[in-house]
Amino acid sequence: MVRIMSSLDYALKINELVKKHTEWFRDSLPMIASENLISPMAMQLLISDLHNRYAEGLPGKRYYQGNIYVDEIEEITTELAKKLFRVDYADVRPISGTNANQAVLFALTKPGDVITGPPLQGGAHISSAKFGSVGMRGVTKIEYPFDVEEMNLDIDLTAKLIKMVKPKVALFGRSVFLFPAPIKELQDALQEAGAKVWYDGAHVLGLIAGGQFQDPLREGAHVMTGSTHKTLPGPQRGIILANPPGDEEKREKFWNKIQRGVFPGVISNHHLHHMAALAITLAEHIEFGKKYAEQIVRNAQTLAQELYEYGFKVLGEKNGFTKSHTILVDTVAQGGGRRVAEDLEKANIICNYNLLPYDDPKKPRNPSGIRLGVQELTRLGMKEGEMKYVAELIKRVAMDKEDPAKVREDVKEFKKEFNTIHYCFNEDEEAYRFIELVK
């Protein structure tokens, strides 16, 4: 007999499920490369009255009253973004990385235009795919040639492609971003083509701010978009940054297009509570970002090396496996990406299966590899020694085929010492533990 639940029952059920989810991640090793932990100070602002309010437009030019303090918050957040990334222009209103990408598409392209970008199986984000934002804008994307050994774009062939195609916009940046994009190396081709250069730094934004990856806006990019919740450990949100070339008039004209792409282009209200939390994150990253970014890269390289020594096929070997937070592993020998990711999940090791450069992009549900990110484990205080143990736990599940339930118990015991968030203002003043959320 089917039980009909009351509205209150459903509400209590949701509360119970959230509690279970929180407990699960407290006892797990979260290694999704696109996730991170917001700081205690920033988290408090997500439940402030800002959550209930609305703002459209820019500070001082709103379409609503009641934004006296909101205007000041937005101005401070914008100035912090400019300081952290050393840029002249910043828009902190996008509510996700994809939303920021959509704003740039609206600003710099029109239906029928041609852009170039990395292939999906070479790590491109789905927003740049034919079935994503690019295709829905009516823009044609031509893919760069990819060098599997380098795990990066084939520079010579990409330069020839750009000169031949002469794209309106040349897009760089990926969701599987092991090594810096060759923007400097392609400058001659990009300038000859007259392309606007757009860098999607969603995954590596915190590394860029920490001086540990590359500096796109000083290497030739005109505009950079990004998510604020990956290697930049803030609220789930987006950001647009720019240092456009030219005289002041040309720069202002370029930036006005970008801002109109944001509003009224792709957003109305821009989630004010998240914006306030972003301000805290930016301030914290100014203080702690360099140290955090350095440890992320050391951890990723250590984990990649350990997995390699265990016999895993870790991509990017020629260049040291990774210079970011991400590791890409071919797990065909262990049963394929999907099977390995699902087995690891049973052991409370949370990652995702992922297309590899030589996979069929039409079969994304059964790829050859898995993607691992270390930014969240680093945020919890793990260093090189812990990465070696994490590699051992992965090996036990994926290679030794040990019962995931048995490994799960070891994961839970290990994780007990790593539930305090580091690299934030609250680190020394008060220990913040996930367990407090589920009491």
The verdict on 377 and 421 lying in the same domain is yes
Q: Can you give the residue range of the structural domain that contains 362? A: 289-438
Task: Tell me the chain's radius of gyration from C-alpha atoms.
Answer: 22
- Does residue 160 lie within any of the structural domains? yes
Q: Of the residues 235, 265, 281, which one is the last residue of a structural domain?
A: 281
- Which token pair is 381? 């205080």
Cβ atoms 209, 233 nearer than 8 A: no
- Does residue 27 lie within any of the structural domains? no
Cβ atoms 346, 403 nearer than 8 A: no
* Residue listed under structure tokens 């606007």: 196
- Does residue 361 lie within any of the structural domains? yes
CATH classification of the domain holding 321 = 3.90.1150.10
The verdict on 324 and 236 lying in the same domain is no
- Which token pair is 47? 């439940």
The verdict on 317 and 268 lying in the same domain is no
Query: For residue 233, which phi and psi values (nearest 5 degrees)?
Result: -90, 65
- Does residue 259 lie within any of the structural domains? yes
The verdict on 216 and 343 lying in the same domain is no
The verdict on 264 and 347 lying in the same domain is no
Q: How many CB atoms lie within 10 A of CB 238?
A: 30
From first to last of its 439 residues, the chain has per-residue pLDDT tens of 567 789 999 999 999 999 999 999 999 999 999 999 999 999 999 999 999 999 999 999 999 999 999 999 999 999 999 999 999 999 999 999 999 999 999 999 999 999 999 988 877 787 777 777 887 889 999 999 999 999 999 999 999 999 999 999 999 988 899 999 999 999 999 999 999 999 999 999 999 999 999 999 999 999 999 999 999 999 999 999 999 988 999 999 999 999 999 999 999 999 999 999 999 999 999 999 999 999 999 999 999 999 999 999 999 999 999 999 999 999 999 999 999 999 999 999 999 999 999 998 888 888 999 999 999 999 999 999 999 999 999 999 999 999 999 999 999 999 999 999 999 997 544 444 443 443 3
SS (H, E, C) 204-233: CHHHHHCCCCCCHHHCCCCEEEEEEECCCE
The verdict on 198 and 308 lying in the same domain is no
Residue 147: which H helix or E strand, with range?
strand 146-147
- Does residue 339 lie within any of the structural domains? yes
Give the C-alpha separation, 214 to 180, whole Å: 6
Cβ atoms 235, 278 nearer than 8 A: yes
The verdict on 141 and 123 lying in the same domain is yes
The verdict on 124 and 218 lying in the same domain is yes
* Residue listed under structure tokens 């459209």: 56
The verdict on 165 and 207 lying in the same domain is yes
- Does residue 110 lie within any of the structural domains? yes
pTM above 0.85, yes or no: yes
Residue 199: which H helix or E strand, with range?
strand 196-200
Domains held by the chain: number: 2
Give the C-alpha separation, 269 to 409, whole Å: 45
CATH classification of the domain holding 78 = 3.40.640.10
- Does residue 24 lie within any of the structural domains? no
The verdict on 104 and 161 lying in the same domain is yes
The verdict on 261 and 302 lying in the same domain is no
- Does residue 37 lie within any of the structural domains? no
Query: For residue 200, which phi and psi values (nearest 5 degrees)?
Result: -90, 100
The verdict on 265 and 222 lying in the same domain is yes
